[in-house]
Structure 1
Amino acid sequence: MSSSTPSVLLNTGARMPHLGFGTSKLKAPEDVFRAVDAALASGYRAFDCAAIYENEAQLGQALRSLLPQHNLTRKEVFITSKLNYRHQGGASMEAALLSLTRLDLDYIDLYLIHFPHTYGLSESDQQNPVNRAQSWAALEELHAQGRFKAIGVSNYTPAHLKQLMQHCKVPPALLQVEFHPWLCQKELRSVCEEYDVCFQAFSSLGKGALFTQPILTEVASRNRCTPAQVLLRWAVQQRVPVIPKSANPDRIKENAQIFDFALSAADMKMLTALDCGWRCAMDPTGVA
């Protein structure tokens, strides 16, 4: 993959851009097309989707049309998708193959188990870890076939990750979780480092809630950038890849400009000190 965007080396030997484009809540074909077009024009070379987003087919169609227009090939983009938690366990193989079909790709660069629990089960149900193990075995098989170049997990806790490492044949290449100054995930990052698992952030902007922080406004003003750019830069400056999402072409372009400046050590320290354990997404800590 050739791109000017900084990248991270996964434990598979593949490189993944530090900046990816998130597609959650983008469903209408015209909206996906417009956003992907703006993202490619702004230098994004990684795209994150999921079965539960119901947009895999739309993303695949947009890329088939737009890559030639931007003088790019399939090999120059990194595609991530995820297993719907309705299909954990015995249904995971068929569901994972459907992701390939909907995207209309020969392979997916990275495929994740989206959630540690199974739809319809209580968090404490001991079938949850059984289903996760079955799902991982299916992903390992598809990885061995070359259909998934890398496999990983999302929304896992330290306990879930350690449990996976005890039985997996193929270690996860990446863990995607909520990460921002209000949720610094220190323990989880440490576990990922121990196991050589790439730690990737979603919800880097805290769904906009962090914009109320005076410190964020202060740092943004000092660096002559937007609050969103500050939050994304705070992550990538710690070597944490990000996948911001937007349907607005101007914001898509702004979010790609996070490699044009650097935060000072003092700014980084002030932002990290905001950590309070607050989440804007699901809390997986109670899942067995």
Structure 2
Amino acid sequence: MELSPRLPLNDGLSIPQLGLGVYKIADALAADTVQVALDAGYRHVDTAALYANERGVGQGIARSSVAREDVFVTTKVWNDRHGYDETLRAFDESLGKLGLDYVDLYLIHWPAPRQDRYVDTYRALEALRADGRARSIGVSNFHPHHLERLLAETSIVPAVNQIELHPWLPQAETRAYNAAHGIRTESWSPLARGRAIDNPVLDAIGAKHGKSAAQVVLRWHVQLGNIVIPKSVTPARIGANLDVFDFALDDDDLAAIAALDSGERTGKDPDDLD
């Protein structure tokens, strides 16, 4: 049974709001992890060519009892494959490793602005959507100024912009830009690479609701309207990360979390990564 609500996308499709991220999960472990998550009620898995675990992700989906059409699969093109023709080749490679006929969402992983090829890369994504092999398309790590150029020079508004987002980096400006253009915001590093696990403010909010600090942060993402993809390989934690739809944060909780904003990133600024 699917346990996460779905959010509508601007192309008429929908996406499970909470999914499984698989960054830094070894290919050999990815199959078991994905199968455990699907058995626990997840219906959304987020991978990427860079993660080198697309084969394992596909094996986990194939092994599970969940029908392919009920699993939302995202993958991404890496920076060294930008350009129209190269992106099409990269997509074929990803699809082959996944063992799938299509992906539900294909993203440009980073804009890599100094290469100045992300517009051509996105045009390849538009072609993939037209032929049905990528049902939805979008971007990751795009600032508003990257999106401005994309909207001016291409035809399809991205369905999703996946960005680093957590209480220390709430990304209000980018979230507002996304919302104004009908683009869903998706959060990577939603727990700030573990920083949220041991924080006295979040611990106190969790104690108030009978939840962990991690569950508090994931609930914060949900209440912001974000798509969120926490990563874990531990079955108990995989289940706990999905158990955030039976409580709500109040105004005092949200104010306390807002006070954590420091603008600190755990990864690179998108303008600085080639």
The TM-score normalised by the length of structure 2 is 0.95
Moved more, 11-20 or 211-220: 211-220
Residue matched to 1:103: 98
Number of aligned residue pairs: 273
| Structure 2 Cα separation of the partners of residues 64 and 37 of structure 1 | 9
- For the pair 1:233 / 2:219, whether they are aligned, the reply is yes
| Structure 2 Cα separation of the partners of residues 42 and 113 of structure 1 | 29
Matching of residues 43-58 of structure 1 within 5 Å: 43-58=41-56
Structure 2 contact 198–213 (Cα < 8 Å) conserved = no
Structure 1 residue 210 displacement after superposition:
3.1
Residue by residue over 1:138-180, the C-alpha shift from the partner in whole angstroms, topping out at 9 and shown as x without a partner, is 1111110000000000011111111111111111000000111
| Structure 1 Cα separation of the partners of residues 245 and 196 of structure 2 | 21
Residue matched to 2:82: 88
Structure 1 residue 212 displacement after superposition:
4.2
The TM-score normalised by the length of structure 1 is 0.91
Structure 1 residue 284 displacement after superposition:
1.2
Equivalent position SS for 2:15: strand
Matching of residues 127-276 of structure 1 within 5 Å: 128-129=115-116, 131-276=117-262
Letter in 2 for 1:103: L
Structure 1 residue 259 displacement after superposition:
0.7
Structure 1 residue 286 displacement after superposition:
4.3
Name segments (4+ residues, structure 1) moved above 6 Å.
Answer: none
Give ranges in structure 1 of 5+ residues lacking alignment. Answer: 118-122
Moved more, 273-282 or 207-216: 207-216
Residue matched to 1:120: none
Residue matched to 2:4: 5
Letter in 1 for 2:155: K
Structure 1 residue 287 displacement after superposition:
6.2
RMSD, matched Cα:
1.5
Moved more, 214-223 or 48-57: 214-223
Structure 1 residue 257 displacement after superposition:
0.1
Structure 1 residue 4 displacement after superposition:
3.9
Equivalent position SS for 1:275: coil
Equivalent position SS for 1:156: coil
Residue by residue over 1:178-237, the C-alpha shift from the partner in whole angstroms, topping out at 9 and shown as x without a partner, is 111100101101110111000010101101123343211111111111111111100001
| Structure 2 Cα separation of the partners of residues 161 and 286 of structure 1 | 16
| Structure 2 Cα separation of the partners of residues 44 and 65 of structure 1 | 14
Moved more, 48-57 or 278-287: 278-287
Equivalent position SS for 1:109: strand
Structure 2 contact 20–44 (Cα < 8 Å) conserved = yes
Letter in 2 for 1:87: R
Residue matched to 1:24: 23
| Structure 2 Cα separation of the partners of residues 45 and 255 of structure 1 | 13
State the percentage of identical aligned residues: 38
Structure 2 contact 75–107 (Cα < 8 Å) conserved = yes
Give ranges in structure 2 of 5+ residues lacking alignment. Answer: none
Matching of residues 102-121 of structure 1 within 5 Å: 102-117=97-112
Letter in 2 for 1:140: E
| Structure 1 Cα separation of the partners of residues 210 and 2 of structure 2 | 26
| Structure 1 Cα separation of the partners of residues 69 and 173 of structure 2 | 34
Equivalent position SS for 1:278: coil
Residue matched to 1:34: 32
